[in-house]
Amino acid sequence: MIPQALSRGALALTLMLYVAGCSTLGRLNPLGRDDGPGARASEGERVSVIAFDQTVTPAEALKGVAFEIPPPVLNPAWPQPGGRPEQPLAHVQAAPELAIAWRRRIGEGTSRGNQVTATPIIADGRVYAMDGQATVSAHDATSGAPVWRVDLTPRERRDQEAYGGGLAFADGRVYVSSGFRFVAALDAATGATVWRTPVEAPMRGAPTVAEGRVFAVSADNEVLAFDTRTGTEAWTYQALVEPARFAIASSPAVAGDTVVAPFASGELVALRAQNGNELWTDVLSRASRTNALSELRDIAGRPVIYQGDVFATSNSGVFSSTDLRTGARRWSLPVSALTTPWPAGDVVYVMSKAGELICVARDSGQVYWLTDLNAGRVRKEGGFLGFFDREVRPTWSSPLLASNRLITVSTDGVAVAADARTGAVQKTVQLGSPAFIAPVAAGGTIYVVTEEAELIALR
């Protein structure tokens, strides 16, 4: 059950304001205070572009220093929300021209009560997507032609307005988590329901499938593990219940017998995949005297496991690297983000909530470069005769490393390609509608789902 301190309506409003990209952090703030990047500093006071007390700037020691990233590889599939159970596909080969090839409608878009939250997944030559409610569809990956479509909305809704959830693929099945309080498995060839298991709380994030289990995090900050064959609940783990949170959620990362789960409490918890026993806990939380939103600790982006380290971000202003085996913090930066980091070779890329694309040395946490994608994109609106205008800043998705460029999409309805070594913007493509879900890639094509529930292929 969602804590009463923040109602379902308030949660939905928070997400709609954030995803629509038509507000400052102050308008997103359910705590009612208007602090953030637009806050004015007194003389001698430094206000961070990351919206916290400290700034993130390129390290002098790294100026002119080259770094290595692996060469791009043509991947045939993208079966999990982040590509694989541990999440990253280091560097994919896709869409060198970044031109729209086709677009297809997948169902209900984002509106009052509906939210498009599911990352598309690709397997066996098909793209699987979920709309703003609980309709799952399969499309031919080459042409976008529909293959099947199934509406999983309950006949008797426990919520009048339910949203959230996502998809994952494994062993010929599409696994679904839903804000309508269920987890299900569908036959990937036909869309027929194999099993469907009700749960107590809405499922906001997508599931992760590994080693015969489906792992998902509920809106009540609980990890649930299900048997992939039968849908039987294997175990659960309850983290701290957070009374105030953003209305978005993340997916666990899995490596071997370790599940790393993110929570709205700011907790990052490693669990034993077989039984849910806790291995370690790290808290990605820091208070800020300049920003009330730091009190919302959500880890809304997926944690990423890469070469023995866990990379994760929180809204509270912590971007960290943690040792997977011991839980010891290697380094952290004061970056506020609701996105997923992308590690590759010597570096890790992250998109801040302020719209800054940042390249960080993976071993030390020092910054190579920072590109402000919102430069020239901030506008004023909502006032009267020029008075009481508010700043509108586009919100950017997690980056995708494809063919030596970082691809990200925004609530301004554009896709941008930035040079992976310098951060310089190389190309901008108009999508025609807002987007916040991170792009994915397979078979040389990049796929984007927009807020209007359009599936777009770029080649």
pLDDT value, residue 16: 39
pLDDT value, residue 393: 86
Contacts within 8 Å (CB) and 24+ apart, 191-197: 191/136, 191/138, 191/148, 191/149, 191/150, 192/150, 193/150, 193/152, 194/231, 195/230, 195/231, 196/152, 196/231, 197/226, 197/231, 197/232, 197/233
Sheet architecture: strand order including 258-262: 253-255, 258-262, 267-272, 278-283
**What string of DSSP letters covers 48-96?**
-TTSSSS-----GGGTT-----PPPB--S-B-BTTBBTTB--S-B---S
Q: What angle do CA 271, 277, 282 make, to 5 degrees?
A: 45
The CATH number of residue 287's host domain is: 2.130.10.10
pLDDT < 50: residue spans in the chain: 1-53, 288-294
Give the pLDDT confidence of 20-72 residue by residue, as tens digits: 333 333 333 333 333 333 333 333 333 333 344 467 999 999 999 999 999 99
Classify 293 as helix, strand or coil.
Answer: helix
Tally of structural domains, the chain: 1
Contact 395, 411 (CB under 8 A): yes
Which domain range does residue 343 map to?
Answer: 8-458
**In this structure, what DSSP letter does residue 320 have?**
E
Q: How far apart are CA 310 and CA 324, in angstroms?
A: 6
In a domain, 1, yes or no: no
Q: How far apart are CA 396 and CA 353, in angstroms?
A: 7
Q: How many CB atoms lie within 10 A of CB 230?
A: 12
pTM of the model: 0.85
Contact 203, 243 (CB under 8 A): no
pLDDT value, residue 7: 37
In a domain, 3, yes or no: no
In a domain, 361, yes or no: yes
Going along 200-251, which residue ranges are E strands?
208-210, 213-217, 222-227, 233-238
Q: Cα Rg for the chain, rounded, in angstroms?
A: 20
pLDDT value, residue 22: 39
pLDDT value, residue 21: 39
